[in-house]
Amino acid sequence: MTLRISLLACAILALLPFQGALAQEDSPDPAAIARHCVRVINAGADWAVGSLQETTEATIQRIRRLHAAGASDREIIAAGQAGATRATRIARTATDSIQTLTRRCAAAMIAAGAEREMVARVITVSEDAQAAIAAAAERTQNAIHAAVRRAIG
């Protein structure tokens, strides 16, 4: 099992240099803020999608091992539910973090004098990232449910 830092912690750590830069400048560059925000949003989405893929693979392997060992349907279903719950938690945490980050980025960009179009582009990146997470979460749920159905017949 690999050690993972939570998405929220990553987002906070990624924003620390950003906050320091804002404090040091009288008028921060809105474009620099936007670039930083897009990088952090995309990194969060990449982390979430990767974690969902790992959860899918680990859960399916566990279901297969249980099935091969002759586990009861109840045990197989419980393993599937545990994986599905973990996937839901990953997707929800990532989406919530990206939404919070997007609000903070938009506020910082507006305070720095960004035009609406620039703020809208960051919001679009955020929406696309959240959609990618939702799609990955749906694929995870479908794959886990299919593995459980195959195992229990």
Residue 27: the pLDDT is: 73
* The pair of three-digit structure tokens given for residue 101, joined into one six-digit string: 């980050």
Closest to 86 measured CA to CA, from 52, 110, 135, 133: 52
83-102 pLDDT, tens digit each: 999 999 999 999 999 999 99
pLDDT tier at 153 (50, 70, 90 boundaries)? Answer: confident
Tally Cβ neighbours within 10 Å of residue 83.
Answer: 25
Tally Cβ neighbours within 10 Å of residue 113.
Answer: 11
Look at residue 113 and tell me whether its pLDDT is greater than 70.
Answer: yes
53-67 pLDDT, tens digit each: 999 999 999 999 999
Answer whether 8's CB lies under 8 Å from 93's CB: yes
Tally Cβ neighbours within 10 Å of residue 139.
Answer: 15
What is the distance between the alpha carbons of residues 52 and 140, in angstroms, rounded to a whole number?
Answer: 7
Is the dihedral angle over the CA atoms 16, 22, 24, 28 positive or is it negative?
positive
This prediction's pTM: 0.84
CA separation, residue 117 to residues 22, 30, 69, 120, 122 (Å): 21, 12, 58, 5, 9
pLDDT tier at 2 (50, 70, 90 boundaries)? Answer: very low
